[in-house]
């Protein structure tokens, strides 16, 4: 499984996760349209496709193939690894 942190580094990929979080099982074309309209993302189909590849390798997006369609869904499970890697310690961090 590829690097989840690198996958989250790109703002377009975060917008993809935002959109998939609102609506599951979207195809590449669906995503392209909705990203452009609702998230102001002006990326080409190929660019979004490559972003989906990175997200899929990081385990953040799951894909179901049906005929000529690929339905994409978000998987938030890998995100837990982040807060588990640097857990908050009692009374050490809190805001000033």
Partner DNA sequence: TTGACATGCAAGTCCAAACTTGCATATCGT
Partner DNA sequence: ACGATATGCAAGTTTGGACTTGCATGTCAA
Residue ranges in contact with DNA by CB under 7 A: 6, 9-10, 12, 27-29, 43-47, 49-51, 54, 66-70
Among 6, 23, 38, 45, binds its own copies (CB under 8 A): 6
- Positions in 60-89 near its own copies (CB under 8 A): 74-77, 79-80, 82-83, 85-89
Q: Which stretch binds its own copies (CB under 8 A): 13-21, 34-42, 47-55?
A: 13-21
3-class DSSP state of 46: helix
* Nearest distance in Å: CB 38, its own copies: 16
**Smaller CB distance to DNA: residue 66 or 93?**
66
Query: Tokens 């908050």, residue?
Result: 88
Helix and strand totals (H; E) in the chain? 5, 2
- Residue 29, Cα to own-chain centre: how many angstroms? 16
3-class DSSP state of 74: strand
Q: Binding of its own copies at residue 91 (CB under 8 A)?
A: no
End-to-end CA separation in angstroms for the chain: 38
């Amino acid at each position: 499984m590829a690097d989840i942190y690198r996958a989250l580094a790109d703002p377009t990929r975060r917008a993809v996760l935002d959109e998939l979080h609102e609506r599951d099982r979207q195809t590449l074309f669906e995503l392209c349209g909705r990203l452009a309209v609702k998230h102001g993302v002006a990326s080409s189909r190929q660019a979004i496709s490559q972003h989906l590849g990175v997200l899929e390798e990081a385990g953040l997006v799951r894909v179901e193939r049906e005929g000529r369609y690929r339905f994409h869904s978000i998987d938030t499970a890998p995100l837990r690894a982040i807060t588990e890697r640097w857990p908050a310690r009692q009374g050490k961090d809190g805001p000033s």
